[in-house]
Amino acid sequence: MKKRMISLLPALALFLSLLPCTALASEPVALNVTVRDFNEDGVLFEGTIDSSSGLVQTTLGADKKPVYELSLWQSLYGESVTQSALNAFFNDTPGVNQSTPKTLTMKPDGEGYWVIDSSLTADGAPSDGFFPIDGALFGNQGNEHNYHFSVEIHTRFKYVSGARFTFHGDDDVWVFFNDQLVIDLGGVHSAESAEIALDELAGTLGIRPGDVVDFDMFYMERHQTGSNLYLRTNFEFLNLDASQWALAELAQADALGLIPDVLRGADLTAPITRAEFAAVAVKTYEALSGEAASLPAVSPFSDCSDPEVLKAYQLGITTGTGDGTTFSPRVLLNREQAAAMLTRVYRVFSGSEAPAYSMPERFSDDAQISSWAYDSVYFMAAHGILQGSSGKFMPRAVTSAEAAVGYAQATREQALLIAVRMVEQLG
């Protein structure tokens, strides 16, 4: 039977409290996870109790899942173990598991670290362990808790000097940084600990302070009677609510300092407003020029006092709407407006009123591009910064039906990706 190793935690907490902090952790951090429930089978769940490293390969698979050493699993649990059974640990498999999204909240500990401690409830009262799906999915199967589940976490963090990560718990735990295995606590076992000082791994991982690092963690609970999870870290997690295809470039956007505060924690798949895009445009100018944008002495707009909008005005990136006395900050931006605003960013940065470009192949909806945005659209297209789809650019909504469904609206993640490409292509 597994028992919580309570005596280790006070000493561990005391030791960690003496470590240097990279930043003051003041707000909770939410980690989006996937939990999968399994039935007891007497083999992989409620089978052999034995801790073992080497159950997964040291490099994460191309699908961002562990690659299992089948022969070692079979030596521990018997020849009946199959590759498909192992693959089901962190993949939805009808008839084998059921899954649900969950959020794990890491709380600041007042010492510059964030903590998840399953020995305490959200109110700080004693808890009997980590049981995120009690009574759900396949249910507890006659037990006091649901003991048979996996937890999958995918996120990123920014590497800063002094970054540390500590885990304490059971059962299997595999953690990968940039697809490389850094914690290997496989098997069914009592609570075990692992600690990482990232500075000591930086050379092996090929990372430097300021780099964005992939964080992939895989946790299994496979046996009664205990389930424990303790995490403590000062990592600056970058949880982006965005499309999967955009994550790599969004991580680069963060590394380049292009994500304004107004978009941090926001749904990046949503359409972007004029005020939000102005903030992205200012960040793009600052990244290109290496200079901080300044505020005007007096705001020209009667409907907006947003500092980032005012900086954009001061730079000449925007002149407002109508007669120039309003900005319409909450109005959504379309693709040709985005092209025009970012082209003005380049003009301000380069000092060129008419940046040169070789005309690319014209879009099939070329006639729908407004005359004032025409050069901007093709300037951006010529440099691979703005792209179309199926030969179309989709510059703006032309009909009321198109407007009703949000046709041609730029999204927040699209705006950030455009900014990344602009800095990388034209910086």
First-to-last C-alpha distance (Å) of the chain: 60
pLDDT of residue 128: 83
pLDDT of residue 395: 62
Residue at token pair 């914690």: 183
When pLDDT is cut at 50, 70 and 90, the band that residue 406 belongs to is very low
For the residues 48-74, what does the mean pLDDT come to? 91
What would the pLDDT profile of 295-348 be if each residue is shown by its tens digit?
A: 999 989 998 989 999 999 999 998 888 788 899 898 888 888 888 898 999 999
Task: With CA atoms as reference, report the closest residue to 224 among 150, 136, 147.
Answer: 147
What would the pLDDT profile of 151-168 be if each residue is shown by its tens digit?
A: 999 888 888 899 999 999
| Ranges 4-13, 72-81, 174-183, 189-198: which has the least confidence | 4-13
pLDDT at residue 9 tops 70: no
pLDDT at residue 125 tops 80: yes
pLDDT, the chain, mean = 83
Local structure of 115: helix, strand or coil = strand
pLDDT of residue 180: 95
What are the tokens at 42?
């007497």
DSSP 43-110: SSSS---EE-S-SB-SB--TTSS--B-HHHHHHHH-TT--HHHHHGGGS--TTTEEEEEEEEEEEE-S
pLDDT at residue 81 tops 60: yes
Task: With CA atoms as reference, report the closest residue to 206 among 185, 234, 177, 237.
Answer: 177
What would the pLDDT profile of 162-198 be if each residue is shown by its tens digit?
A: 999 999 988 899 999 988 999 999 988 888 999 999 9
pLDDT at residue 397 tops 90: no
Q: 134, 35 in Cβ contact below 8 A?
A: no
Q: 150, 89 in Cβ contact below 8 A?
A: yes
pLDDT of residue 407: 53
218, β-bridge pairs: 152, 174
Which tops the pLDDT comparison, 66 or 13?
A: 66
Which tops the pLDDT comparison, 291 or 156?
A: 291
What would the pLDDT profile of 339-365 be if each residue is shown by its tens digit?
A: 889 899 999 998 877 667 788 788 888
pLDDT of residue 291: 93
Q: 5, 190 in Cβ contact below 8 A?
A: yes
For the residues 384-397, what does the mean pLDDT come to? 72
Amino acid at 193: S
Q: Which helix (H) or strand (E) holds 29?
A: strand 29-38
pLDDT of residue 358: 80
Distance CA 405, CA 38 (A): 41
For the residues 60-79, what does the mean pLDDT come to? 92
pLDDT of residue 307: 92
pLDDT of residue 316: 92
Q: 262, 279 in Cβ contact below 8 A?
A: yes
Residue at token pair 């595999």: 174
Which tops the pLDDT comparison, 399 or 251?
A: 251
Distance CA 284, CA 410 (A): 17
Cβ-based neighbour number of residue 404 at 10 Å: 9
When pLDDT is cut at 50, 70 and 90, the band that residue 376 belongs to is confident
What would the pLDDT profile of 133-143 be if each residue is shown by its tens digit?
A: 989 899 888 88
For the residues 40-54, what does the mean pLDDT come to? 88
pLDDT of residue 28: 82
What would the pLDDT profile of 241-277 be if each residue is shown by its tens digit?
A: 677 677 778 888 888 889 988 887 777 888 889 999 9
- The interaxial angle of helices 335-350 and 412-426, nearest 10 deg, is 30
Local structure of 293: helix, strand or coil = coil
When pLDDT is cut at 50, 70 and 90, the band that residue 122 belongs to is confident
DSSP 186-247: -EE-S-EEEEEEHHHHHHHHT--TT-EEEEEEEEEE-SSS--EEEEEE--EE---BS-GGGH
What would the pLDDT profile of 88-117 be if each residue is shown by its tens digit?
A: 999 889 999 999 888 888 898 888 899 998
Longest Cα–Cα distance in the chain: 78
Angle at 358 between CA 357 and CA 360, to 5 degrees: 120
